[in-house]
Structure formats: structure tokens, C-alpha cells
Amino acid sequence: MGTLGLDLERGLFLGIDFGTTNSVVSIYNFKDGEAQTIPIEGSNIFPTAIQFETDPDDESKLSRIFGFQAKEAAVIYPQSTVLSIKRYLGFDEEIKINVDDKEYVFKPQQIAGEILGYLKQKADEYVQEEMNVAGEFSGCVITVPANSTDKQKKMTKEAAIIAGFDESSIYLRLEPAAAAVSYAINERKNKKVLVFDFGGGTFDACILEIKMNENDEPVISILSTYGDNNLGGNDIDKIIVDMIYEEFKKLTNEEIDLFDSDVDDGVSRRQKKIALVRLFQAANQAKERLSKAKSTKVVLAPFIQEPKIVNINMEISREDFENHRRINKLDDSDEIFEKFRDKNIFDMIERTFKCIDKSLDAASLTVSDIDEIFLVGGSSSVPLVEVKIKEKFGKEPFKSKISPALSISQGAAYYCNMIMMPTVKGPVVQEKTIHPLGLEIAGRRFMEIVGSGVEIPEGGLTVEAEEPLITNFDDVTSMAIVVYENTAPDDKNQIFVNSDGMRRLAGTSLRGIPQAPKGEEKVKVIFNVGQDNMLTVTAKSMSNDGIVTKLSVDELY
């Protein structure tokens, strides 16, 4: 590959698929002209996990363990280990861990930043030692779910800054679009493609149109996308967790509740946490084995040792796994459990098909218009997924040379190539807005300013509200500017900001409006959406006496 530092126009960039369960990093190899996945600690797929412990050299500090070791440590030290941090991005919930009887509190983006920083460090070491690359990664392309909110994207970007990437060199790209790049590079044909992206924590259905241009390079247009942020491999795992937990309840006469740490049933909190980590890990391993085998054994011996020893030794067939309907709440919230109560894998796949149907409707296409189905994400390897897709579309999913688990990261690496060497020809991705964006106006109504599916130019999309905001009372000097995102735009009745699917992104006040009778003072609002779908809102007072107050809402949260 040689020393890239002298050749690159924008520095060295790393393509990152930062997943709920696992993460993958890739780089564009200029020598071979293709993307290459970088092994971290000998593996292409690295668990998105971190474990904290007291620094042996300084007891006032914490040291970190990452990846496979952290995932294994979770069995012994569940209270100081964080798994699936991606599901916390986009929320203000603090992460509390306990190390040697001391409690530490982190923001989700801090934890994510620690993990991304470790991936960066290991990638730096690999390309320097194994590929003779000078310098280190200054920038990155991180993929995010197509259905992710603006707040999730912002916290992801904050995590990348914490990891040590230059703020101006952090790019966010949609996961299915990155997967489409991987597909288009290998196929190079005019096609309409459904990207079936079934990851550890989310599902996205994305329909793309690929056309070859005069330079024989693919031009990729996102026709539509629809997703579910609460449907992924973790939820499939819980089907097997539920099966194992039912066996546990029989063995203990339902006298022990592992998911309630406060109840006095003879099992300590620590023992419960350890048992739950082992339970979820065993379920995940069983699911992976059932992707290849017709049945598998689950052995947890001993599973708990207090108030008595309980051993679990059970056989799970693929048929039983596919037909089991979930009974227990497990660790889900009431709202999430209601979505999965009494549901089996057939029901979950049906939910993915509802997303597909909505994506088809949005693109004004039918099943017969889809030329290819590209499976992405580890959960898409569940055999029933392929069976049901074949039933729906009448064709086999595309058999890629790239593992479904690696395709997103490698697509991100192709994006890196476009950024690092912008004068070099390559695939073109026409980014579009995902969700409608707008403001709250009088009566708690939603005024849409930026629609979904609007193409975003390279320099960003700027849209001015068709109508200015006006003052509702005499002599007011400030006006609330409250930004919302409509994540369920297919619901035509959704015109109020308190409707399901509406998400509040920002709230601030525009101050300094000149006093005037009701309705005389007007405020112009301008939305700017970057290619990574990050939003900036500007509000200007349109005073007749020349006074102008301008506010740029950069820190949306």
C-alpha cells in the first residue's frame, strides 16, 4: 500500500460500522483498489463492549478492557461492563457502573467514544505495522441506521470527537447506503436494489436505484427508506433467552426472579447479574449455531448456586426456536415488551416486511420492480429470513462475496476513498433526507419545512419556510423556536407535535424582537441539512426598523 501520507488529499480516513453488538473497521487499499477490513485483535468482527476496572498503578483512576475480553468479563463483572451502548445513543440516560464498590457515571457518547478510540488506536497500529502507512487516522466515516434521529447522529459524532478524530473530518453516512456501495462496486449494473439491513439493534429497509454513468461508475440514488429502531438481533436472541428462562422457571418452581434485583428470593444481586449475562451470551451463541445446524444444546452448569445449585441442560431445535412465542418481559420496558409479547420469529420477520412495504410505497414501486435483494447485518443470516424473502420476492437474495457483517464497513471505506481522493472518479451516492423536519407552531401543530426524500446537494440542502412565523401577542420580544422530526410521515393525520412518531430535536428562544402589535413582527426560519443529515436552524427577525436578530441553533440539545 505504501506511504499514503504523501498521496492523500484529505488525510487518512477509517470506515467504521459501529454496531450495537459488534463493530467492524475498514480502509480503502489504494494498492489493490478495493476496501479491506482491518482485523482488531485478530478478528474482523469486534464486540462493541467495554469493561472498567481500577487502575493497578493508580487506584484513583480507571483502566479499560475492550472487545472479546470485555464481553467475557461481563460474566464475572456485569456491574462494570457495558454492552450494546449504541442503543443508548440518542437518549439522555446516564450509564452507571460500579468498580470496587465505587459508582461512576458516564454519558452514552463518552462510553461510545472510549470504544471508538480503541478501534482507532488498533487500526492505527495495524496500518503502520502491517501496511507501512505513515501517520494515523485523522478522519472517519461512521455509518448510522437509516432511521436514526438527529440526536442519535449528533451523539455519534460527539463520540467520534472523544475518540480522537478531527471534528471537521468526521462524516456520518447511512448504513444501507454504505452497503449499497459495496454491492454496486461488485455488480456495476443498472438495477433497483432492496437493502435488507438486519443488525444487532435495528432494522432498515432501503430501496436504491443504481445506474452506471458515462465513466462506468455506479450512481446510487436512495429512493426510499423505512426502519424500526427497536427490532434487531438482540430481540431475536430474546426468543431463545425466553425459552431458556422458561426452563429455569420450571426447575425453580417460579420462586426466583432473575430480572428483579430487589426481590428477596435467596439470590444476591451480583449472582443475578452474572446469571443474566451468561443467559444472554448462551442465547446468542445458540442462535448462531442454529443458523447452520438443525438443533443445538444449551448447557449452563451451574447456572446459579444460591440458594441452591441449578443446572440447565436443554436441547433447542431450529423448529422450536422458530415457533416459540415470547412469554417473559425479561429486561425490556413495558412499551417494548408489548411489541414482542406472544410474538415469534415469523412475527419479527413480518415486521421487517411491513417496513419493506412502506419503503416500496414511498418509492412508488412493487415487489416485481426489485431486481435484487442484498442482505446486510448479522441477523440476516437467520435461515428463516432467506426463506421468507424468497417467498415474498420469488427470488433468492444476492449471494455476495462479502460477508453481510462486513459489507457496511467496507462500503464506508469506499466513502473514505471518495473523501480522501475527491479528484479520483468513483461511485456517486445521491444522499436524501430521511424524515420530515419542521417547527412547532400555535396549537401544538407541526409545520413541515423540509420533506423526506429531498436530495441533498454536496454543499448541503438549504430550505426556507414558506411562511414566516408571526407574533401571537402584542409587544412580545422573544419567540420560541422548537424543532421537531416526524419519524412516521406515512401517517397523514400526524399534524400535531404530540402525535406518535414526533421527536423534539431542539428548543430555544429568539430574543430581541422589537415590540409591536400582534402579527406585525415576522420571523424567517431557514433549515440547513448537511450530507450527513445533520441539521442547523437559523431564525431571523424581519423587523421594518432594520433591527435583525439572528440565531443559529448548532447545539440542538
Q: Is residue 27's pLDDT more than 50?
A: yes
Length of the chain: 557
pLDDT at 244: 97
Give the pLDDT band (50/70/90) at residue 98. very high
Specify the 3-state DSSP secondary structure of 153.
helix
- Give a yes or no: residue 347 inside a domain: no
| Long-range CB contacts for residues 308-313, cutoff 8 Å, separation at least 24 | 310/248, 310/251, 310/252, 312/244, 312/247, 312/248, 312/251
Average pLDDT score, the chain: 88
Query: Residues 283, 206: one domain?
Result: no
Please state the rounded mean pLDDT for residues 161-190: 89
What pLDDT is recorded for position 2? Answer: 40
Alpha helix (H) residue ranges in 383-460: 383-393, 407-420
Instruction: Find cell 424567517 and name the residue.
Output: 524
Residues 212 and 95 both lie in one domain:
yes
Q: HEC states along 42-106? A: CECCEECEEEEEEECCEEEEEEEEEHHHHHHHHHHCHHHEEECHHHHCCCCCCEEEEECCEEEEE
246 Cα distance to chain centroid: 31
> Tens digit of pLDDT for each residue in 243-257?
999 999 999 999 999
Residues 68 and 190 in one domain: yes
**Which CATH number goes with the domain that contains 243?**
3.90.640.10
Indicate whether 186 and 314 sit together in one domain: no
Give the model's confidence band at 544: pLDDT under 50 very low, under 70 low, under 90 confident, else very high. low
CATH number assigned to the domain comprising residue 379: 3.30.420.40
Q: Is the pLDDT of residue 371 over 70?
A: yes
DSSP line for 223-284? EEEEEETT-SHHHHHHHHHHHHHHHHHHHTTT---TT-SSS-SS--HHHHHHHHHHHHHHHH
Regarding whether 509 and 368 lie in a shared domain, the answer is no
Position 348 in a domain: no
φ, ψ dihedrals at 126, nearest 5°: -65, -50
How does pLDDT run across 483-517, given as a tens digit for each residue?
888 877 655 555 898 887 788 877 777 888 888 89
- Point out the least confidently predicted range of 97-101, 109-113, 121-125, 213-217: 213-217
- Asked whether residue 254 falls in the same domain as residue 107, the answer is no
Nearest one of 200, 146, 193 to 431, comparing CA atoms: 146
Which tens digits make up the pLDDT trace of 411-467? 999 989 888 877 777 777 887 787 789 999 988 999 999 988 888 887 889 999 998
Q: Of all residues in the chain, what percent carry a pLDDT higher than 90?
A: 52
> What gap in Å lies between CA 220 and CA 179, rounded to an integer?
11
Task: Determine the pLDDT at residue 547.
Answer: 57
Q: Of 6-10, 87-91, 382-386, which range is least confident? A: 6-10
Whether the per-residue pLDDT at 346 is higher than 90: the answer is yes
In a domain, 518, yes or no: yes
Query: Number of structural domains, the chain?
Result: 3
Q: Which residue has the higher pLDDT, 8 or 317?
A: 317
Neighbours of 19 (CB within 10 A): 28
Shared domain check, 68 and 193: yes
Give me the residue label for grid cell 494498492.
Answer: 31
Are 209 and 168 within one domain?
yes
Of residues 520, 510, 526, the one with CA closest to residue 545: 520
pLDDT at 186: 79
What pLDDT does 490 receive?
A: 59
Residues 454 and 505 in one domain: yes
Amino acid 489: pLDDT: 64
- Domain of residue 461, residue span: 437-553
What is the CATH number for 519?
A: 2.60.34.10
d(CA 233, CA 254): 27
pLDDT tens for each residue of 192-229: 999 999 988 889 898 989 998 888 888 888 888 888 87
Tell me if 27 sits within 8 A of 14, measured CB to CB: yes
Band of pLDDT at residue 543, cut at 50, 70 and 90: confident
Cα separations (Å) of 389 from 285, 358, 397? 24, 16, 7
Nearest to 261 by CA among 311, 327, 335, 331: 331
pLDDT computed for residue 1 by the predictor: 39
Considering the domain architecture, whether residues 414 and 502 belong to the same structural domain is answered as no
In contact, 220 and 427? CB cutoff 8 Å: yes
Residues in Cβ contact with 174 at an 8 Å cutoff, skipping those fewer than 6 apart? 143, 144, 145, 146, 204, 206, 222, 225, 431, 434, 533
Residue where a domain terminates, one of 395, 413, 430: 430
pLDDT score of 330: 95
Residues 220 and 240 in one domain: no
Domain-embedded: residue 345:
no
Mean pLDDT of 154-163: 95
